[in-house]
């Protein structure tokens, strides 16, 4: 399980700075909070509060061993927290370690990291890989742990770096310009091969998809001027994201299972239909010529099979 913490850059409201956590496997939102508009992106206390809220949403068996101070042997389901460099604070990493939670967090490239990169030998770089196991063209990975002092980050922390040929238009630092590669680093407390860990960390980019979906479901603008009303609004957005995520996971397949909220609205959610009642049942009649009519009817049938005692509504094409 990998909760993802996005960088909180999308406030677009009346001075409130949202911070969110998503569950990567299911695409659902675990927790969210609003902060003052001048709040820093790497405020460790905010991250710790949100981590506690997110883990409290998990089933009891998933939380075993992940309470503060629990022994590592109690862990049944490992948890990984991924974040960009906004989560790279000592207090937050320590809070995750106290809960036996592994981390994979982006690391800013400062002078110490650049010195380590200059000490890395060319033969230490290995090819980066794609999800299908194939070599990632023009990208290499290496571990810098032995070339930099990471004692302040806790025992077992590793620093891994990926370099790749920059794509056209990429914004490069002066160091990257001189080296001819774009560098990205992250710290992790996980064991394993560097190429596998780098591939896993790269999956954090999916959090941008969740942010885009949240903005399509109401998070683009916070409509109120007071924080309490906007907090309620954010909770409604997160609930909508959970409903859409589980609808796609349980009731849909193929193209629509990966669809964005805008497409789901057009294809399924805002479809004109007629409600009829017969035999104590509610039937949704969808126009037969609608391209996704059969898909919608199939989704209703799947929903009935999941909760047969409660789902009294079925879809029909007519």
For 133-146, the DSSP string reads SPEEEEEEEEE-GG
Per-residue pLDDT of the chain (318 residues; tens, 9 = 90+): 556 656 444 444 446 778 899 999 899 999 999 888 777 777 889 999 999 999 999 999 999 999 999 999 999 999 999 999 989 999 999 999 999 999 999 999 999 999 999 999 999 999 999 999 899 999 999 999 999 999 999 999 999 999 999 888 888 888 888 888 999 999 999 999 999 999 999 999 999 999 999 999 999 888 888 889 999 999 999 999 999 999 999 999 989 999 999 999 999 988 888 888 887 888 888 888 889 988 988 898 888 888 765 555 555 665
pTM over 0.75: yes
Nearest one of 317, 287, 93, 120 to 190, comparing CA atoms: 93
Q: Are 50 and 5 in contact, with CB atoms under 8 Å apart? A: yes
Q: According to the model, what pLDDT value does residue 278 have?
A: 84
Please list, in sequence order, all residues whose beta carbon lies within 8 angstroms of the beta carbon of residue 277, skipping any fewer than 6 positions away: 283
Largest Cα–Cα separation, the chain: 77
Task: Return the closest-CA partner of residue 261 out of 236, 237, 244, 246.
Answer: 244
How many other C-beta atoms are found inside a 10 Å radius of the C-beta of residue 155?
8
Contact between 250 and 306 under an 8 Å Cβ cutoff? The reply is yes
Count of other CB atoms within 10 angstroms of residue 184: 19
Do 51 and 63 meet the contact criterion of CB atoms below 8 Å apart? no
Tokens of 11: 């406030």
Tokens of 260: 């964005």
- Residue 55, token pair as written in the block: 């883990």
């Amino acid at each position: 399980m990998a909760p993802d913490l996005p960088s909180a850059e999308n406030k677009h409201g009346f001075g409130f700075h949202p911070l969110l956590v998503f569950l990567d496997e299911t695409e659902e939102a675990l927790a969210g909070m609003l902060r003052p508009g001048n709040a820093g992106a790497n405020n460790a206390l905010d991250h710790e509060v949100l981590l506690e809220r997110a883990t409290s949403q998990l089933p009891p068996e998933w939380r075993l061993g992940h309470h503060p101070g629990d022994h590592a042997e109690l862990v049944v389901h490992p948890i990984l927290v991924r974040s960009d460099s906004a989560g790279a604070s000592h207090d937050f990493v320590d809070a995750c370690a106290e809960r036996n939670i592994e981390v994979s967090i982006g690391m800013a490239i400062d002078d110490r990291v650049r010195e380590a990169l200059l000490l890395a030998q060319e033969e230490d770089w290995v090819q980066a890989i794609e999800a299908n196991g194939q070599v990632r063209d023009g990208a290499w990975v290496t571990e810098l742990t032995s070339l930099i002092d990471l004692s302040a980050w806790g025992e077992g922390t590793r620093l891994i770096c990926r370099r790749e040929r920059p794509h056209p238009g990429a914004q490069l630092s002066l160091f990257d310009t001189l080296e001819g590669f774009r560098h990205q680093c992250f710290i992790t407390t996980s064991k394993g091969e560097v190429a596998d860990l780098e591939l896993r960390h790269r999956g954090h980019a999916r959090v941008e998809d969740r942010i885009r979906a949240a903005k399509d479901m109401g998070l683009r603008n916070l409509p109120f001027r007071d924080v309490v009303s906007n907090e309620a609004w954010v909770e409604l957005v997160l609930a909508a994201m959970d409903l859409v995520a589980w609808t796609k996971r349980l009731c849909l397949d193929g193209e629509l299972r990966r669809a964005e909220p805008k497409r789901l609205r057009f294809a399924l959610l805002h479809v004109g239909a007629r409600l009829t009642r017969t035999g104590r049942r509610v039937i949704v009649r969808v126009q037969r010529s609608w391209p996704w009519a059969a898909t919608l009817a199939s989704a209703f049938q799947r929903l009935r099979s999941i909760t047969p005692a409660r789902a009294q509504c079925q879809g029909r094409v007519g």
